[in-house]
Structure formats: C-alpha cells, structure tokens
Structure 1
Amino acid sequence: MRILIIENEINTAKELERILVDLDASNVVMAVLDSIEDSVKFLSGNDLPDLIFSDIQLADGVCFDIFREVNIKAPIIFCTSYDEYMLDAFKTNAVSYLLKPITKDSVKTAMEKYQSLKSVFESATATLTIEKISQQFKNNYKKSILVEQRESIIPLPVNDIAYIYLENTIVQIGTTKNHQYFIASTLDELERMLDPEVFYRANRQFIINKLSIVNVEKIFPRKLLAKLTVKTPESIVISKANASAFLRWLEGC
C-alpha cells in the first residue's frame, strides 16, 4: 500500500513510518511532508496515495486547506493532539483518527477500520466528509477565554484579543481596547484554542489577531514587521523562514 504522511513533528513522522512498515512490509511511505505548501505541490504533481496520514496543525496552517485546494479521493486518517472533546468530529465512516502520542496499537486499529470501510472512499464521499470534519474542527475553537481581574473572572471574547505576548514565563493578553490581562495558560495552549484563520503565531513571543493588523513592513534581511492597531510591548517580527506562510495567511490563502 502506498501511504503519504503529512506531519510537522519529525519524531512522530519517523515513528509512524516505522510502525506502518512493521505492521505490513508491503506498506510504502511515498513521502513525509510537513506543510500545506509542500503537500499541495506533491499531491498536484504525483500519483495519489492509497492512504494519507495527516496531522491537523501544520507549520503553515491547518491541513484542511490542503484538501480544499487539491481534489483528494484517497482516505485520510487524521492525527491530533486534542482531547476527547475533539474525537466525535472524527467518528465517521470515511476517516479515522490517531490521538497523539501514537502507538502501534492505535495505528493498527485505525488501519483495520480503514480496511473495513474501503467502499466508503469513492466519488465525492471523502471530500464531503473532510468538509464536515473541517467545520466541526472550526466549531471547537474557543469563542471566549477566561481571564482574571482582581477578584473577578471575566469571559473575554476572542474577537477582542489584539495580541497575546509571552515575556519570560508570563503570558499577557492585549485587547483591541488597550486593556491588558495576565493568564496562566501557556502560549502553546492558547494557540491550540484559537482559530488559525484568525490568529497567527508570529514568533515565540506573539500570537496576533489578523483583524488587528494595520500593515506589514519589510525589514532586512527579508523579515517582516507587523504593526497592530494597538501598542505592543515590543516589535512583532516574522522571520525570513516564516514570511511567505505569514503573507499567505494574511491574504487568506
């Protein structure tokens, strides 16, 4: 069986490849890809695999963007780091899921489900299922985040967040009205809670809201500087390596 792995965590990808070959020596991993851009190029220019294992959160966005851009009829087994509140989105006849960290038993179970549901992966069925899962996935992003102010707990709508900033180990939320709140969650945890079509992890210190961006300046050498509608604790710099992905996100691609 020809299998494509789309996974931005290299150790997870290597372990998955090892397990697949161990389960069946006839399994061939065609490629291991870590981004939307590389996946679209590969799927547009090569024969389709028999099966795809795909992480959800990739280096340059969410994997569903791949399947909107390229017509994929191959079945897909999704990988996710999310807890059980996400799992109902994947309990369909068309796909299965792996909850990270992956194990040989979980891969074996997913493969057995795939084998039993082969007839489902015909015509537009897989595409329709992807759209359904994509919408379900989107619906599970936070609409508000609880923050503390003195003795009060406030539900802060995510649309009011202009940026989230990490300084040392302290995470600060800056709002569109120039209010600041401190929160115990980590930047990684908050990134997973927020819709990646709206919020972008600009660097190790900032998550920014697309709606709060005024403009982006080019700075040497081929880096970008994002300017927001509100004052930020320091400049928001996007590295050369992430500049192209950031501009595609900003454009909505």
Structure 2
Amino acid sequence: MTTVLIIEDEIKTARLIKNLIEADDEFTVAGMVPSVKGALAWLSQNSPGLILSDIQLADGLSFEIFRQAGIQVPVIFCTAFDEYAINAFKANGIDYLLKPIEEEKLQQSLAKFKSMKALFAPKDDYSRRLGTALNKLHNPYKTTMLIHHRERIIPLKMEDISVAHSENGIVTLYVKDTMRYHVNHTLEELEAMMDPAIFFKVNRQFIVNRNAIAGAEHYFSRRLLVRVAVKAPAEIIVSKARTQAFLKWMEQ
C-alpha cells in the first residue's frame, strides 16, 4: 500500500482529495497539512510514497518544501493556476491537475503513478530507482555540449563556460581557458540548456556563470556592473529590472 501526504490549505478540497484517493484500496492518506511549515515538519518525521500538493499556500509556494526537504518522492500538483507547470515538473512532478479537481483526472494521475511504481520493481529497490528516474526526467539541463570547431568536434562541459555573449545574431562562448567558440544557438536556446543554479541571463546579450564572477559593483541608474574571470567582449551590465533577481541568485 502506498502512503500519501496531501498538502492543501483549503479544508474542503483536502477532504475531497482524501476521499477520492482512498476510494482506491492501494492508497492510504497518512497526513494532511495546510502550509509549507507544516509540510516540512511532517516530512522531517515521515516518508510518504506519494505527495499531492497545492502550489500557492498561505505561507509560500510548495516548491520551497521540496527544495528544503530534499526528498525524492513523486508529486501530483493540484492548483488553480497553470503558470507553474514548468517549475512543477522540475520538482518531482509526475502530473499537474487544475482545480476544481475532477475525479476522472485524479484517477488517471494515480494510474500513472502505479505504472511508474511497477516499472521500477523490485519493491525493495523502488525508491532508489524511482528517484534516479525522476532526476533524469526533471533535470533537462545539459552537462556537456558538442562544439564544432573547424574540423574538430569538442565535448565542452557546460560548467566550463564562463560567459555566453550574443551580438548581431552570433553567440560566442568564452571558456575558462580563454578559448572562444561560436555556436549555432540563440542566447534564449542556450539559456534553456543551462542549469539556472549555475547560469544567469543578466541582459539580452550576456549569460554568466556564477563560478566565473569575480564581483559586482554599482553602476549608473541602479544597475550593476559584473566583473568576470575572462576577458569579456563588452561591459556586462545587469539591467535595473534584473538587479534584485541577480543579487538573490548570487546568494543562493
């Protein structure tokens, strides 16, 4: 039997979800909590096999729960908003249901979970295998990309890219060893390949690697000037609109 944790701050919705889940004999609801704080406390003492979670809770977004708890448990997200879908599938999400919850769609989500669970049998190895599969499924960021440089094909580790720069439609990668490579990607395509924990798009021309940043200083009009470990083709300026997000990212 699979134990389930429900994270939901609307009592009626939580009870409805509980009743729908327990209509299936393979599931039992082990806990219902209404907040980020409550979920973190519950998870510090318990290990469910499945989580059903709202996203916008009274004390924050539920993504914070999974970031802090560091758990590898599949999650079915149930929310009234559709703009969080991408983040949900980066947080061990296996399905994304919009409220009001429909019984048929919830049962389809539970069936999807069962299929995944059966796929990663035997039972005693299920958690480890499922965790590995979820990591691969929800971590779309590249660790290596192939660079076509003259007659060579070079495997370049993403972490070795210090700066990515776009000018006149040409994107150039500046690497730790001062090498430069042109790539057939736009800066937006490149950003989608990069782990946001490591890379930050500071403006329309530059993406920087946090490990290449030597420091930052105040610039005109409440912007920031970023110093990096390689010789950049131009000054790297964080736009006023992105300054606070950049400083928060630097602290993470």
Pairwise TM-score range, normalised by the shorter structure: 0.5 to 0.7
Q: 1:79 aligns with which of 81, 85, 89?
A: 85
Relative distance call for 1:144 and 1:231 in structure 2 (3 A) is: same
* Separation of aligned partners in 1, 2:196 and 2:179: 23
Gaps of 5+ in 2: 1-6, 10-15, 17-34, 38-51, 57-61, 78-83, 114-127
* % identical aligned pairs: 33
Give 1 or 2 for the bigger CA radius of gyration. Answer: 2
In the alignment, what sits opposite 1:196? Answer: 196
Q: Normalization by structure 2: what TM-score?
A: 0.55
Are 1:113 and 2:113 counterparts? no
In the alignment, what sits opposite 2:249? Answer: 249
Instruction: Tell me, yes or no, if the aligned pair for 2:162 and 2:176 is still in contact at 8 Å.
Output: yes
Name segments (4+ residues, structure 1) moved above 2 Å: 50-54, 63-73, 75-81, 95-98, 107-118, 131-141
Are 1:96 and 2:94 counterparts? yes
Q: CA deviation at 1:115?
A: 6.7
In the alignment, what sits opposite 1:68? Answer: 67
Q: CA deviation at 1:219?
A: 1.4
In the alignment, what sits opposite 1:29? Answer: none
1:36-81 deviations in whole A, cap 9, x for unaligned? xxxxxxx669xxxx85369xxxxxxxx95563258999x5437239
Instruction: Tell me, yes or no, if the aligned pair for 2:145 and 2:158 is still in contact at 8 Å.
Output: yes
Find the residue that maps to 1:141 and give its secondary structure.
coil
Gaps of 5+ in 1: 5-25, 27-42, 55-62, 119-127
Q: Normalization by structure 1: what TM-score?
A: 0.55
In the alignment, what sits opposite 1:157? Answer: 157
* Separation of aligned partners in 2, 1:150 and 1:109: 56
Q: How does 1:228-239 map to 2 (within 5 A)?
A: 228-239=228-239
* Separation of aligned partners in 1, 2:247 and 2:136: 26
Relative distance call for 1:147 and 1:71 in structure 2 (3 A) is: closer
Which fold has the larger relative contact order, with Cα–Cα distance below 8 Å and residues 6 or more apart in sequence? 1
Instruction: Tell me, yes or no, if the aligned pair for 2:219 and 2:225 is still in contact at 8 Å.
Output: yes
Q: How does 1:131-146 map to 2 (within 5 A)?
A: 135-136=135-136, 140-146=140-146
Instruction: Tell me, yes or no, if the aligned pair for 1:176 and 1:230 is still in contact at 8 Å.
Output: yes
1:220-253 deviations in whole A, cap 9, x for unaligned? 32211111011111111112222122112112x2
Relative distance call for 1:69 and 1:139 in structure 2 (3 A) is: closer
Instruction: Tell me, yes or no, if the aligned pair for 2:55 and 2:63 is still in contact at 8 Å.
Output: no
Find the residue that maps to 1:227 and give its secondary structure.
strand
1:131-174 deviations in whole A, cap 9, x for unaligned? 87874467542121111211211111112211111112111111
Are 1:52 and 2:54 counterparts? yes
Q: CA deviation at 1:97?
A: 3.2
* Separation of aligned partners in 2, 1:3 and 1:186: 40
State the one-letter code of the partner of 2:226.
A
Relative distance call for 1:241 and 1:134 in structure 2 (3 A) is: farther
Relative distance call for 1:97 and 1:178 in structure 2 (3 A) is: same
Q: How does 1:16-55 map to 2 (within 5 A)?
A: 51-52=53-54
Task: Say how many residue pairs are matched.
Answer: 187
